[in-house]
Amino acid sequence: MEFAALREEMVDSLLHEGTALPDARPADAAMRAVPRHEFVDADHRAYTDQSFEHQGTRVLPPSTVARLVAALEPREGDDVLVVGAGVGYTVAVLAEIVGPEHVHAVDIDRQLVYDARGNLADAGYGDVLVDCRDGAEGLPEYAPFDRVLVEAAAVGAPPALLEQLADDDGRLVFPEGTGDQRLVSVDASGETVGVHGPVAFAPLLVDGEQASAVERNRTVREDRERAAKAAESRRGWERDWIDWDDY
């Protein structure tokens, strides 16, 4: 199977059909080079414009990746942080543009971090740094970053990520909103410098919500804790049965 030809067809199709942004460069050139089949277990379907599920996360379709990269406007040599490494495909596209040693990625899910590292190494981008972190806290030891991409929705740009953004022409791109979302780019002050159309992303997770966590749903845990406290606080006939064996 000639994957290179499939990549060419994929990008040509996206540009011809207008699925991606009209001016997708440099994303189009990078996507022609990155072997997407190393990141999704789908054979020839890796080069169709569709998403896949993997370990509780969504592998973005190529058209969405093109939109994200176009909004980010990365340049060769830029230091880039990706929040939400996922399987590593978007990370690889950015590495193709700026250089693998300039790309850093974090994900809150440890299994996804392992998978992304392996995928990136197999695809030839082993110099990318991928770490298991709370994405909202970024990667301060490698800051400042010229570009920060958040692949998860938030009401506003996380303050820690803004602090890690370069003051001079730094750009942070993220899906803004919880219901109706739009892709926005902001500068280091948090001011919106671009709006790039509607999107639909899962919310930015906090520790305990990732798929690999022992307890993903905080509401379940909180309900259980409240029930235990309520039981301990019972008085009168509700507790009498506990003491029957003492009589």
Given pLDDT bands bounded at 50, 70 and 90, which one contains residue 96? very high
Q: Give a yes or no: residue 241 inside a domain.
A: no
Per the structure, the complete domain to which residue 198 belongs is given by 3-227
Q: Give a yes or no: residue 162 inside a domain.
A: yes
Q: Note if the pTM is more than 0.95.
A: no
Q: Give a yes or no: residue 14 inside a domain.
A: yes
**3-state SS class at 28:** helix
Mean pLDDT of 229-241: 49
Per-residue pLDDT of 2-16, as tens digits, reads 899 999 999 988 887
CA–CA dist 93, 103 (Å, integer): 10
Per-residue pLDDT of 183-227, as tens digits, reads 999 999 999 999 999 999 999 975 444 444 444 444 444 555 555
Q: Give a yes or no: residue 246 inside a domain.
A: no
Q: Give a yes or no: residue 232 inside a domain.
A: no
Q: Give a yes or no: residue 247 inside a domain.
A: no
Asked if the peptide bond before residue 26 counts as cis, ω within 30 degrees of 0, the response is yes
Q: Give a yes or no: residue 238 inside a domain.
A: no
CB atoms within 10 A of CB 121: 15
173 or 23, which is more confident: 173
Q: Give a yes or no: residue 243 inside a domain.
A: no
Q: What is the CATH number of the domain that holds 92?
A: 3.40.50.150
Q: How many domains does the chain have?
A: 1
